[in-house]
Structure 1
Amino acid sequence: MSTREENGIVEPEITSIDELTTPMLKGEKPREAWRIGTEHEKLVYRAPDFHAPSYDEAGGIHDLLLGMKPHGWSEIWEGNPDKGGKVIAMKGKDGAISLEPAGQLELSGAPLANLHQTWEETERHIQQVHQVTDGTGVGFLSLGLWPDKTREELPIMPKGRYDIMLRHMPRVGTMGLDMMLRTCTIQTNLDYSDEADMAQKFRVSLALQPLATALFANSPFLEGKPNGYLSYRSHIWSDTDPARTGMLPFVFEEGFHYARYVDYMLDVPMYFVFREGRYIDAAGQSFRDFLDGKLPALPGERPTMSDWNDHLSTAFPEVRLKSFLEMRGADGGPLERIVALPALWVGLLYDQSALDAAWDLVKGWTMEEREALRGSVPKLGLDAPVAGGRSLRDIAPEVLSIARAGLKARGQLNGSGDDESLYLAPLDEIVASGIVPAQDLLNRYHGVWGGDLTRVYAEESF
């Protein structure tokens, strides 16, 4: 989740609803300026008992963050460092390292020109965290969900927005706390050139997000045993908060544009307002009231653009629009799959011929079929049915073929002369075998592991 840093700049208030499309308009870039942003989270544990370390314990999350300083990272504080403030993130040339609510460690990578750079950035990050934690017993698990922890066993990180969200989540769904405390994901952030380009990319990525969920499904265990799903992380979103999640049917409507997404976001209830280094609880309140100076949490004040950008980060649909598009459907996983996710979406969305071919594949699906696919994929994976009596298993080879052609057309070569399509290899293997990562884990659990889930720490750590 986003990390806000106090900058001391006094911003003007928003005076017109028309200003709310500003982040989207500022996100428009010519093709040559399109970049790739990759975010990935890791479950942090500590041997010998595999507990999730707290923020304050010796060798815990605070020490892990500060241990990154010799590698060129600097602190982001919440609150005054001299008055009990906390280091809640680090920033550097590779982006930001931040904390999810239970200490999941996230790298929000820098905007990069090609996937070869994404591989190098991700590999560099993993090497750095290992150097920091060498000899401490701290390890990093590459799954989409804590396999063996109850909510009560997990620590809470000292971040103001999380306090507000933890109080609010049980009011609006049964699994919001699981989303915050127990899940891990990979995300890809991509650019667009204008409103029409944004709309086509949004539609294609939203329609095919369930395929990414299936290919990256990696969360089949909960509290020490199989949970009946391949991506329980994805299932959790089905009852987290219906006001801010889902497949967004309006994206597929004729004439979809920035202002329509703004209208959606104005109906998403608020979480907070950030003022003078602290988060003010505004959970359930209306940004429309904020625009009118009638927000109960901050009466008489109107929002700034930073407030609006904060609010844009509090919706969690399968694809999210800010000043770029975020693909949000994948479980956490190891290095090769962290890079395979942006490879899939860059291949599909950053070449016009590939984008058109992908849209041709999905444009005939009805909204009911899209919703049914989203609902079935957490449990069925590649066997989830799509329109026309087929399944994701049937269309996956065609989608990968389109993505491969798109990557080859980009002509981005590494020092060995390889183009970016090489990063699709993990997905090629999954489609060829028909076995998604969660099914492989289950096969080992019921086979060579003999039901001993602690084996996951040795075999699925970074």
Structure 2
Amino acid sequence: MPNMKKATASDNIVGMRIDMDIYRMNIDAIVSHLKRGFKRSDDFKIGIEIEHFVFDSNDRSAGYEKILDVMKDIMGEDDKPYYLEGHLIGFYNDRYSISLEPASQLEISIAPCASADELVCIYRDFRRILDPVLSRYNLRVECYGYNPYESAQELDIIPKKRYEYMDRYFQKAGTRGRNMMRATASVQVSVDYSDENDAIRKYRLAAILSPVLSLMMDNSPVFEKQPAAMHMVRAYVWDGVDADRCVIMDGCLAPDFSFEKYAEYIMNMPAILVMEGETAVYTDDKKIKDIYAERVMTDEEVMHVLSMAFFDVRLKNYIEIRMADSCNIDKAAWYARIICNIFYNDDNMGKAEEYFAGVGQKDVLEARESLIQHGKDGIIYGKKAECVVRFVTELGSNAAVKE
């Protein structure tokens, strides 16, 4: 008969120590991943992702099967396809990767470059491959922040369990998850950092700038097939997705914000799903720290849990600035240059920090709400929006070391 020794208080304490040790090690695993992004300033680059809606001649979304045919036709001999659960969901090469967002939005993620001009060249090369193929299928791409022709309920999710589970979770986490996944498209710009202090400094400034950049890149005239009654439709949509993981990270503007604080926040988020090999497993609202309570995460798992945060500014082993609406390449390049010229120029960073001194998280949310309601007539941190936009635009027009 097995020894049925009764658990004692000391046994519980030992078990707790083991759990806390593993929790600490998982925090360290996330921090270590973020630190692997450290780069010399001479090696700083800028990356960009642009999402496109793909429509047919009747202004209907092309859908997964048609996009799949397009992807097969534009893949070259040197392109490497990738599959998930038996489904082709994209391909990549040394210059860019192509993938599908939840409702078949077509995304190009361009490998980080030394300048916005290089990003433009790569993008235009891709379009020279893509556009003739689209034409053969009577399809076209358009870039907006929100689908101008269809409502979210008319659009289907591609066969990818990650998106199926996110869709399920967001239906209870908020009211606009379906809108976000099916009907939005963005431009995302990524910047590098030299050390933790540099990363935190850039993260904070990007969070403060987020309402301004949203307004500058507002490109959503339509919401649910009607002229938009609000400005910054994508910001409005994200406000209603999931308060735990969207818009602005709670505490990111506090004096003690750090990689460790970011890692702790991630560990205490509901996971939604985890990956077991190539299989997505739904975990609902179970927290990441509880899922990995008995073992240390692999680096692949660290990358996955970081990808499940959807703040306007996201830390990976670079900083992802995510609040811009999708737009044409000329405006996207203009935007990337502004980001580059602010975040890669210490003088410009200092001027921006001085201009926005004292801004807190509550101020960011109030500015966001004012701009959604009033657009360029709104108020940003006690100033007229048009004045703040002018300051940021002029500051971002000053040449940086990379341009």
TM-score by length of 2: 0.90
* Contact residue 213 and residue 381 of structure 1 kept, 8 A: no
In the alignment, does 2:51 pair up with 1:41?
yes
**Alignment match, 1:102:** 103
Change in Cα spacing, 1:276 to 1:200, as seen in structure 2 (3 Å) is closer
Alignment of 1:164-179 (within 5 A): 164-179=165-180
* Contact residue 370 and residue 380 of structure 2 kept, 8 A: no
Equivalent residue in structure 2 for 1:360, among 349, 354, 357:
354
Equivalent residue in structure 2 for 1:62, among 58, 68, 73:
68
In the alignment, does 2:331 pair up with 1:337?
yes
Greater strand proportion? 2
* Contact residue 28 and residue 194 of structure 1 kept, 8 A: yes
Return 5+ residue gaps in structure 2 as ranges: 1-21
Q: What per-residue deviation string (whole Å, max 9, x for no partner) do you get for residues 122-141 of structure 1?
A: 22222221022222211111
Aligned residue identity for 1:39: E
In the alignment, does 2:391 pair up with 1:398?
yes
**Alignment match, 2:4:** none
**Alignment match, 2:6:** none
Distance apart, 1:104 and its partner CA = 0.3
* Contact residue 253 and residue 360 of structure 2 kept, 8 A: no
Distance apart, 1:409 and its partner CA = 3.7
Change in Cα spacing, 1:183 to 1:25, as seen in structure 2 (3 Å) is same
* Contact residue 348 and residue 355 of structure 1 kept, 8 A: yes
Q: What per-residue deviation string (whole Å, max 9, x for no partner) do you get for residues 310-362 of structure 1?
A: 01001111111110111111111111112122111111100111111111111
* Between 119-128 and 92-101, the greater mean CA deviation after superposition: 119-128
Distance apart, 1:249 and its partner CA = 4.4
Aligned residue identity for 1:62: L
Q: Secondary structure at the match of 2:180?
A: helix
Distance apart, 1:93 and its partner CA = 1.9
Equivalent residue in structure 1 for 2:59, among 21, 42, 50:
50
User: How many matched pairs?
Assistant: 381
**Alignment match, 2:11:** none
In the alignment, does 2:30 pair up with 1:20?
yes
**Alignment match, 1:273:** 274
* Contact residue 37 and residue 109 of structure 1 kept, 8 A: yes
Q: Secondary structure at the match of 1:323?
A: coil
Equivalent residue in structure 2 for 1:381, among 375, 380, 401:
375
Distance apart, 1:222 and its partner CA = 2.1
Alignment of 1:149-168 (within 5 A): 149-168=150-169
Q: Secondary structure at the match of 1:188?
A: strand
C-alpha distance in 2, partners of 1:343/1:206?
18
**Alignment match, 1:191:** 192
C-alpha distance in 2, partners of 1:366/1:282?
33
* Contact residue 342 and residue 400 of structure 2 kept, 8 A: no
The percent of aligned pairs where both chains have the same amino acid is 25
* Contact residue 186 and residue 341 of structure 1 kept, 8 A: no
C-alpha distance in 2, partners of 1:257/1:53?
43
Q: Secondary structure at the match of 1:181?
A: helix
Equivalent residue in structure 2 for 1:29, among 39, 51, 74:
39
Q: Secondary structure at the match of 1:134?
A: helix
**Alignment match, 2:242:** 241
C-alpha distance in 2, partners of 1:31/1:41?
29
TM-score by length of 1: 0.79
Equivalent residue in structure 1 for 2:80, among 74, 83, 87:
74
Distance apart, 1:375 and its partner CA = 1.9
Q: Secondary structure at the match of 2:284?
A: coil
